[in-house]
Amino acid sequence: MSSPRGDALRLTSGSTFQLVAAGATGARSWPVRPVAMLRVVILLLLVGQLGRIPVLSTGTSEAPLLVNDICLLALIGVTFVSALAAESVKVDSVGGMMLAFTTIGFVSALLAVSRYGLSGVQVVISLAYLARWFVYFSVYLVVINIVRGDDVMDVWKSLERMMLLFALFGIVQAIFIPHFAQVVYPDSRVYVDWDEQGHRLVSTVLEPNIAGSMLMLMLLVNVAQMAGGGDVPFWKPLVFFGALVATMSRSSFLGLMVGLAVVLAVRGISRRMVAFGAMLGVALIAALPKLLAYAAHFNKLSISDASAMSRVVNWLRALRIWADHPVFGIGFNTYGYVTERYGGVRAGASSFSTDGGLLFIAVMTGIVGLALYVGMLVLVVRRCRRIWRDAYAPPGWRALATGIGAGTVAICVHATFVNSLLTPFVMEMLWVLWGMTFVMARHLSLLRPPALGTQPAAIALES
């Protein structure tokens, strides 16, 4: 395994490799830049649930194939070929922990076969979701193997552009296309396949809380950039915040508050943050009557509504299941089959997950899997801290690391109420961002002068 302070990359995103058509009279080749493909795949994340291909349907559960899954598989394949050509494959400590986590998930799922008498189709569905999790985790390995230091801000800009389109479309959808999930999938079962969301923003992921978590991550990075003195146009965080308000997602706002506290603790308050906060405050005061009426319509002003109480029930059931299987858990994605034995009802894909975030990970993979996952999160946050405190890092990198660290903490809070940690669209964003922290930390370690007391060298990177 290599660490962020290891040897220099043997393959960089500026490198190209040739795909040769064998058997032709004259071999023809096409130059491929994996990092360019990564940026395209990030933009295609916008397709979301609109590109959904149902497979392995059993009536009560379904393992759909997404267009995004296919794009990621192609990206992983290109990266693998390029790594073979360069004879260099990197797996750092974070990647090692997640490979171990995958193994625990696989073993726990196999143990569930005899324990709960799962059928062959049920085992395939469980392992299909584990395979999907592995595909999305592999995005991290892709990033640390093909992205180099001067690609970091370009990759971030691709993610930001995609999410701006996501937010703008979502705002239009919330105003003009209510019940969007039912419009897209008219044959779906309300409250089983998709909740009926009315005018809440769901954008292309068709779920307001998941859309909220994605918008929350982007807003935190924008705020961190403003706190670091970055020249972020006010309209970008305003778009993200407006879209976040339209989701009416309480878990997203709670995560945002925690993430903002992290940003303020790290960066303090800048003039641009004060100016943005004042602008936002004026807009909120002007719109407050409408916002309160909007929130009351969705019963979001009460902490004892049916949605909140159902989460408490889900937490208590999850704790009981974990107490019965503390070491290796019940098996990856077997929750829908096991929960019936504890009073739950299996109806639709939502039955195979539950609220709780890290609690749900503990239920599936036990204390062993939980320790690996928490260890990975700790390593990522520590790496972010190392970057934002590094005097050699350009301001843009320090701000990006601050936002990623704050977003990591915020998403753990958010996942306590919604299973966002294991949702594909959120996972892809997180693994890209986490992979970029490896690239930044590693690049900085190579630039640092070996002798103590040496003055910081200039870093020719876009900040």
Asked if pLDDT for residue 341 goes beyond 80, the answer is no
Burial of 455 (0-12, 13-18, 19+ CB in 10 A): exposed
Sign of CA dihedral 396, 401, 404, 405: negative
- Residue-wise pLDDT for 288-323, tens only, equals 776 677 666 666 556 556 666 777 888 888 899 999
DSSP 4: T
- Residue-wise pLDDT for 164-212, tens only, equals 999 999 999 999 999 999 999 998 877 777 877 889 999 999 999 999 9
Give me 178's structure tokens. Answer: 């209510």
Coil vs helix vs strand at 326: coil
Task: Answer with the residue of higher pLDDT: 163 or 125.
Answer: 163
Q: Regarding beta strands 52-53 and 65-66, do their DSSP bridges make them parallel or antiparallel, or are they unpaired?
A: antiparallel
- Residue-wise pLDDT for 44-83, tens only, equals 999 999 988 876 555 445 567 889 999 999 999 999 888 8
Lowest pLDDT segment from 185-194, 278-287, 425-434, 443-452 = 443-452
Domain residue spans of the chain: 17-447
The stretches of 353-423 forming alpha helices (DSSP H) are 358-388, 395-415
Contacts of 401 (CB under 8 A, 6+ apart): 383, 384, 385, 387, 388, 393, 437, 440
